[in-house]
Amino acid sequence: MKNAVILAAGRGERLWPYGDTNAKAALSVGTRPLIQWQLDSLAEVGVERVRVVAGYLDGMVRNACALWLEANPDRMQIDFVEQKNLNGTAAAAVLGFQGLERDKQGGWIIPGDLYFHSNDLKKLLDRSKQSGVAVLVVPVPSSHVQETIRVEVEGGSIQEVCAHSRVWTPNTRRFTGIVAASQVFIETLETTPDIPTCVEIGGMAPVDRELAETLHQWLKSGETAVAVEAEEAVVDINKPWDFLEANRISTLWQTEGVQENVLADGASIDPSARIEGKV
């Protein structure tokens, strides 16, 4: 699977105040723009061609990718397309794949505001080879299910998709938006309805062609999708506190291999300093 599309056009209005002056994909997570971590992970699973669907403050996203390419020359081809009409994630994915050479193995769909670990992409890739379509999911507490797009998982497969549902069961998981998609699924993106139907009675869905609705229609047509539960933390940077959580997780991941203090000659740590961990 050599192709990937990163959906990075959104405004991030609920991320105030950070979203006013930052493209979400360019937010600094662990001292690096978020999208650079995503590119690292995609390179680790063998992706060679990435198309970034940009929009709001797209120059920040382009700059972050340019800096990544400087540090990783010839490792990956990165192109951009502007989503002028922000009409949904499925519509954005269609734009992205239109500019990529067709790959019979399919391609990745990656939300540009998601912080995740490459280990989960590797796991997702393995499962997609067996099933064609694999979706990364995470647990969701019953108190938060209405804030998410929930999927019902049974026997390792997704049985149902519902946005902002009031229903929670032990099989309920949250749809992260990361999909290892077959070529057939990618072609199905173009037939996504303009208004989502994967809502309960009374749900006031916006006029958007959403990836969750693509998955909903895919299942309705009799196709299958494997649910792969993340083993590492996955942070959807949607609110200000999510941004802080992503940085907390990034710090843990980057420092977990530090087992002892490593100090230069002549350096010392003042006994009065409060440090939680090794230096």
Per-run averaged pLDDT (10 residues), the chain, 279 residues: 96 89 95 97 97 95 97 94 93 94 93 97 92 94 91 96 92 97 95 91 80 96 96 96 95 84 86 83
Report the alpha-carbon distance of residue 236 to residue 115 in Å, rounded: 7
pLDDT of residue 63: 98
Report the alpha-carbon distance of residue 71 to residue 243 in Å, rounded: 25
Structural domains in the chain, sorted by start: 3-255 (3.90.550.10)
Report the alpha-carbon distance of residue 4 to residue 42 in Å, rounded: 8
Q: What is the token pair recorded at 112?
A: 């540009």
- Are 61 and 23 within 8 A, CB to CB? yes
Beta-bridge mates of residue 138: 174
pLDDT of residue 201: 67
- Give the side-chain half-sphere CA count within 13 A for 81: 19
pTM: 0.92
Do you find a cis peptide bond into 17, omega within 30 degrees of 0?
Answer: yes
Give the amino acid at 116: F
Give 143's DSSP letter.
G
Report the alpha-carbon distance of residue 190 to residue 188 in Å, rounded: 5
pLDDT of residue 200: 81
Beta-bridge mates of residue 80: 52
